[in-house]
């Protein structure tokens, strides 16, 4: 308890995530061990009961997210954490949570893949899975941190967005960020605002559980408090009852999209480093952005007008913001620890007039500042 209250602490990324979750009001964690995310579960197992929360280790990732959704329906802020293979298993329930509008936070600590891949090595190859891993259409919100301190901040934000918009929010970390220790100023972060889901107004009665107002987000009643409503993964109407009426189905689909779209500005965040006059701008996120920052400094020292666009929100993709940031730049280097998953998004955002190069690495090692520096120098892409 003493440690929790010390303002500045040396914290591991995963531990920061757990601490932040509790600070954000998370009181339920359901998970299944998988490297390199396990310390989140371990920390939650230790800390949650101390604040009256519940930790449960489920039999697999599918069950984990199911339990999380169940707990959330019962009124608890809830999360799970996993890594690539487990994240794949969770996809169905991410879709379920989207469609049934159950707030929850899913942390994916990315590791080398595909398949079992490189369990203890970093990767960024789940970014598209975070967007398109489920079937069907629905909006996705995914945040990506590049340091333990930011893990803390984004975890809180993930909960806030989930609760505000009644939707699952994905927090993408990578092995390096998850495992590294940094000084984290808990004193400062304690002041981060915490949002809670909106409960229906008035006494329990017949609840039109999925009737939403202007913001497209229905008020959410916890189970067990007399509202007695139905939740189903089937296409449903505003009462929550299954329907196949095309008009009703379409209305719901559009509302789900709209409720996120209209908050896009609040959701999207990014960081710019010396972009104003940059000729070449690195697009990076997560741990790669840390290397990129060093590379940009190196480049500037060598007289290259380099800049960095660090995406913090990956989904919705900060396309407009990127386009604005690279307006004056000639070249964009997309650096990511995969074979170019975000490159397409970047190309789409910046338009055909810009040269988009890549600095890609998918072998389990982190991209180094030198590698990005080389890419900044070179006309051609650097495939590290």
Partner 1 sequence: MLDIQKYLRLEMFPHMLCPGCGHGIVLGALLRAIHSLKLSQDEVVVVSGIGCSSRLSGYVDFDTLHTTHGRPLAFATGIKMARPELTVIVITGDGDGLSIGGNHLIHAARRNVGLTCLLLNNEIYGMTGGQAAPTTPLGKISTTGPTGPFETPFDSCRLVEAAGASFVARGITYEPATLEKLIVAAIQNPGFSFLEIISDCPEFFGRFNRMGNPADQILAQKQNVVDAKTAATLPPERLKGKMLTGILHHEPRPEYAASYQESIAQMGAQAR
Partner 2 sequence: MDRYEIRLSGEGGQGLVLAGAILAEALGIQCGKHVAYTQSYGPESRGGGCRSDLVVSDQPIDYPICSQLDLLLCLTQKACDKYWVHLKEGGLLIVDSTRVTRLPSGSFEVCSVPILRTASVKLGREVVANMVCLGVIANLSGLIPREALQKALLERIPKGTEQINQRALEAGYGLTGALTPAMAHAPLP
Q: Which does 138 bind (CB under 5 to 8 A by kind): partner 1, partner 2, none?
A: none
Residues 357-376 that bind partner 2 (CB under 8 A): 366, 368-370
Smaller CB distance to partner 2: residue 120 or 251?
A: 120
Q: Which does 119 bind (CB under 5 to 8 A by kind): partner 1, partner 2, none?
A: partner 2
Residues 296-315 that bind partner 2 (CB under 8 A): 297
Instruction: Return d(Cα 81, Cα 323) in angstroms, integer.
Output: 32
Q: Which does 34 bind (CB under 5 to 8 A by kind): partner 1, partner 2, none?
A: none
- Residue 219, classed as helix, strand or coil, is coil
**DSSP letter, residue 78:** E
Smaller CB distance to partner 1: residue 1 or 301?
A: 1
Smaller CB distance to partner 1: residue 92 or 347?
A: 92
Is position 109 an interface residue for partner 2 (rule: CB under 8 A)?
A: no
Smaller CB distance to partner 1: residue 68 or 282?
A: 68
Instruction: Return d(Cα 246, Cα 254) in angstroms, integer.
Output: 12
Is position 272 an interface residue for partner 2 (rule: CB under 8 A)?
A: no
Is position 120 an interface residue for partner 2 (rule: CB under 8 A)?
A: yes
Is position 147 an interface residue for partner 2 (rule: CB under 8 A)?
A: yes
Cβ-count burial 288-298 (b if 16+ within 10 Å, e if not):
bbbbbbebbbb
Is position 4 an interface residue for partner 2 (rule: CB under 8 A)?
A: no
Query: Is 119 within 8 Å of 84 (Cβ atoms)?
Result: no
First CA to last CA across the chain, in angstroms? 45
Which chain residues interact with partner 1 by CB under 8 A? 27-28, 30, 49-54, 56, 58-60, 62-64, 66-76, 78, 92-93, 96, 204, 222-234, 241-242
Burial of 244 (0-12, 13-18, 19+ CB in 10 A): exposed
- Half-sphere exposure (Cβ direction) of 256: Cα atoms closer than 13 Å: 27
Instruction: Return d(Cα 316, Cα 319) in angstroms, integer.
Output: 8
Residues 181-220 that bind partner 2 (CB under 8 A): 181-183
């Amino acid at each position: 308890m003493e440690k929790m209250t010390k303002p500045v602490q040396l914290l591991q990324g995963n531990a920061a995530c757990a601490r932040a979750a509790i600070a954000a009001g998370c009181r339920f964690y359901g998970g299944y061990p998988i490297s390199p995310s396990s310390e989140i579960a371990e920390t939650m197992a230790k800390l949650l009961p101390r604040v009256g929360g519940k930790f449960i280790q489920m039999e697999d990732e599918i069950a984990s997210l199911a339990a999380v959704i169940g707990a959330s329906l019962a009124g608890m802020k809830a999360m799970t954490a996993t890594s690539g293979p487990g994240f794949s298993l969770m996809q169905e329930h991410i879709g379920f949570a989207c469609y049934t509008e159950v707030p929850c936070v899913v942390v994916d600590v990315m590791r080398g893949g595909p398949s079992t891949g490189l369990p203890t090595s970093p990767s960024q190859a789940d970014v598209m899975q975070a967007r398109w891993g489920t079937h069907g259409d629905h909006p996705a919100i995914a945040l990506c941190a590049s340091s333990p301190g930011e893990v803390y901040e984004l975890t809180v934000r993930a909960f806030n967005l989930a609760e505000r918009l009644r939707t699952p929010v994905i927090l993408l970390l990578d092995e390096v960020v998850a495992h590294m220790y940094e000084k984290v100023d808990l004193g400062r972060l304690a002041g981060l605002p915490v949002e809670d889901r909106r409960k229906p107004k008035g006494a329990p009665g017949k609840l039109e559980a999925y009737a939403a107002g202007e913001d497209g987000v229905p008020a959410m009643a916890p189970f067990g408090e007399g509202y007695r409503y139905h939740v189903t993964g089937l296409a449903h109407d505003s009462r929550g009852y299954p329907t196949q009426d095309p008009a009703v189905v379409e209305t719901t689909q559009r509302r789900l999209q709209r409720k996120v779209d209209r908050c896009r500005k609040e959701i999207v965040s990014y960081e710019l480093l010396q972009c104003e006059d940059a000729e070449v701008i690195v697009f990076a996120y997560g741990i790669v952005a840390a290397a990129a920052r060093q590379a940009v400094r190196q480049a500037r020292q060598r007289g290259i007008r380099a800049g960095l666009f660090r995406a913090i929100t990956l989904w919705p993709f900060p396309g407009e913001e990127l386009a604005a940031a690279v307006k004056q730049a000639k070249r964009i280097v997309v650096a990511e620890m995969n074979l170019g998953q975000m490159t397409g998004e970047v190309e789409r955002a910046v338009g055909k007039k810009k040269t988009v190069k890549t600095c890609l690495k998918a072998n389990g090692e982190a991209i180094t500042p030198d590698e990005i520096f080389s890419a900044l120098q070179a006309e051609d892409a650097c495939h590290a």
